Chain A
Amino acid sequence: MEPRRPSWLFWLLALVLVLVWISPILATLLTSLKTLEELNQGLYWTFPKHWNLDNYIEAFVNGGFSHYFINSFIYTIPSLFGIIALSSLNGFVLSKLKFKGREKITLLFLAGMLLPFQILLIPVFYLSSNILGTYDSYLGVILFHIAFQLGFASFFMRNFMKSIPDSIIEAARMDGCSNLKIFYSVVLPLMKPAIAALSTLLFTWIWNDYLWALILIQSDELKPVTTALENLKGQWVSSYNLQSAGAIIAAIPPVLIFAFLQRHFVKGLTMGSGK
C-alpha cells in the first residue's frame, strides 16, 4: 500500500504555523534594516525605504559588538570544555563503577537541577565578590557556568553511558585496562553523539545567558553580547533598529552550531531513551 499523501489541509496548516513562527524573526529582520525615524512613524511591517546594512555596521563597529562578541566566546568555550570534561567523568563513575552511595550522589546532582537559579543570586554574588574574589572577571562567570550546568550535564552523561553494555567494559578490564584508560579509549569514543548533543545545548544556554553576566560583571570591557544588547535600550529612547541588528548578529553562532551538529543532536537525544 502506498503511504497516504498529506492532504491540502495539512499543507495549509503547516504554512500558517510556519508563518506564525517565523513572523517575529521576520519583524526583527525588517526592523534591523530601517532607520529609527521610520520606526518612530509606526512603520513596523513595511519594507525599509532604503536597503542597506547601516545598522549592522553601526552595531558591529561603533557599538563595539565585535569586542562583546569575542567576550561571549571567551565565556562560552572554556565553560563548555570544563563542563564536558567533568560531566563525562562524572557520568562514567556514576554509571559504570560500583561503590556505596552511588545512587545518593546521583540524586544530589538531580536535586541541584531542581533548584531555581534565582535563589542562588545573592549567595553566588557573595561568593564571587567576597570569598573567591572573582567578581567582575571572566573566570567568575566561567566558574559559575561550569558549576551550575554540571548537575544536568552529569545526569545526561550518566543516562547515556548506562546504555553502553557492561560487557564491553568488563572485557577491557579483563585485558588489564585501568579505569582511566577504559574511560579514555573505550567509553569516550562511544560518547561522541552525546557530547555533540550536550555541547549544542550548553553552547546555546551559556551564549544566551544574560542574568549571570549582569550580576557578576560590571565593566563594559568584560560584557558579553547579551548584556551589551540590553545596553542599546535607553532610559527614554530605545534604538529598536540597532537592537534588532545586534540580536541577529548575536544569534548567528548558536544557529551555526545547531546547524552543524543537528544530526548528532537528534541522535544524541534519542539514544539511551529506548532500551
Chain B
Amino acid sequence: MSTFKAKTWAFILFLSSTAHAGDLIINSMHSDPDVKKAFAQLLEDFKKENADIKVVLNTTSHEAYKVQIRTWLPNKAPDVATWFAGNRARYFIDKGLVEPIDDVWTGIDKQFSDSIKDVVTFNGKKYLMPLSYYNWGFYYRKDIFEKIGVKTPPKTWAEFTTIVEKLNKASISPIAIGIKDGWPAAAWFDYLNMRIHGYKFHMALMAGTESYLDPKVKKTFEVWQTLIKSNAFNKSAAAISWQEASALLWQGKAGMYLMGNFITTQIPKNIEDQIGFFPFPTLNPEIPNAEVAPVDVYFIPAKAAHKAEAKKFLAFLAKPETQQKFNQSVKLMPTNSTSITDAGDRFLKAGIETLRNAKNVSQFFDRDADPEVAKAGMDSFVELMARPDDINTIAKKIEAVRLRVYKK
C-alpha cells in the first residue's frame, strides 16, 4: 500500500509540475506552416550563437493568441512575445505591461526607416522590435485582363471601374473577396478612405478623434456602395474565408483580389505566370498615396523572468542577416533597411517598389483602431457588403461604439 501511496503522490507531483524550464520562453502567434518552419530555423541560428541559453517556444494560433495574451501578460508572462505594431500595442504599453528596450535600439536605429520606427515608439520610448512587414494590393489574372482587352493594370479609379464593367460583361466576377472572418472587408475601407481623404484623416479616425458620422466617411462608404452595387464582388463573399475566395482567382472565376502579399505563397504552380500585381489605384489626384503595410513585432513583457536573455534575442532579431534569411523564406519584407531585399521574387520586388512610392504606411484597420471599435467596424463592413443600401445606420453603429470607448 505504501508504494501505491508513494506512486500516487509522485503522479500528483508530476501533474502539478509546470513546464517552464527554459531560460528564454517565447510565445508566438505565428502558426502559419511556412512561418513556423522559418522561425524554427531562426531559433536554431540563435542557439548556435548562444549555446548556453535554453529556448522554449510556444505557438498558439493567431485568433486564440489574441484571447490568451490578456490572461498571461499581466500574470505569468513569457520572456518574449509576438504582437502587432501600432495602437494594438499601445493598449498594453499604456498599462505598463511592456518593457522599454531603448538600450537594444541604441546604435541600430539608423538601420530602420522612420515609418517603421514610428510604429514601435510610444511616448518617446521604444518598446517593440520589428521583424517583418508586408504590402497590400491587387493580385490579378494577366490572361483574363488580356482577354477583355486590358493591356496595362489600372492607375486611376476610372480605369479601375472600366475594368470592373468589362469583367462583368465577360461574366467573370471582377473582384474576389471572402469576408467570413471580417478583416478582408476592412482592407477596402482602409484603402478607400486613405485614397479619398488621405492618411492624416484616416489615422485621426483610427485614433478616435474623428467621427464616423463625418461627411467624409459617408463619402467613402458611398464610393464603396457604388462599387458593390455594380456587382463588382463575388456573390458568395459572406459565406467564404479569404483562402476559399482566392480559389476563385486561381480558377479564373474572378479577375482580381485585394490582398496582402502572403497570398503569393499559395499560388498554384500551374498558373503562377498568370498572376500579376498592381497597387490600389489613385482616387483623388491631390492626395499622395499611402499604403497598408502591417508590421509584426516582438516585445519583452514587463513581468518577464529572463530579461537579459530576452534582450539578447531581440538584438539578434534586429540584425540584417537574421531579418533577411527569415523573410526571404516566408516572402515577407525585412524591416531592417540594410537587409538585402531583392530575393529574386517579383512580388516582393513590386511590393518594395510600392512602399517606396508611398508617402505613409498604415497598419491595417484592426491594428490601428481600438479593438472594440475595430470589431464593430468589421461587423458593419460585412453588413454593408451584404446589404449596401443603408450607409447611415452602419456609420451610426460604429460611431456609437467609438463614443463609448473614447468617453472613458
Contacts and interface: CB of A to CB of B under 8 A. Distances in A.
Given A129-B76, A237-B266, A40 B15 contact: no
Interface in A186-243: 214-215, 218-222, 227, 230-240, 242
Given A136-B76, A219-B20, A233 B62 contact: yes
A235 B268 contact: no
B124 to A, nearest CB: 30
Interface stretch (B31-39, B92-100, B207-215, B389-397): B31-39
B71 interface: yes
A42 B32 contact: no
B64 A227 contact: yes
Contact of A234 (B18, B62, B247): B62
B17 interface: yes
Interface string A111-136: 00000000000000100011000111
Interface in B237-269: 241, 243-244, 246-248, 250-251, 260, 262-263, 265-266, 268-269
B62 A137 contact: no
A165 B67 CA distance: 51
Contact of B27 (A74, A214, A218, A236): A218
A40 B250 contact: yes
Interface in A143-167: none
A110 to B, nearest CB: 30
Q: Is the interface of A mostly helix, strand, loop or mixed?
A: helix
A227 B63 CA distance: 12
Given A136-B19, A236-B32, A42 B250 contact: yes
Contact of A137 (B15, B78, B265): B15
Interface residues of A, number: 39
A40 B62 contact: no
B31 A235 contact: yes
A183 interface: no
Interface string A235-261: 111111010000000000000000000
Interface in B59-77: 59-64, 67-68, 71-72, 75-76
Contacts of A218: 27, 58, 68, 72, 76, 78
A219 B268 contact: no
A231 B61 contact: yes
A40 B71 contact: no
Given A40-B268, A78-B15, 10 more contacts: A42-B251, A138-B15, A139-B15, A215-B68, A215-B71, A219-B20, A219-B56, A220-B56, A234-B61, A236-B32
Across the A-B interface, the 9 shortest Cβ-Cβ residue pairs: A234-B32, A42-B247, A219-B19, A139-B16, A235-B62, A138-B15, A236-B262, A221-B19, A139-B15
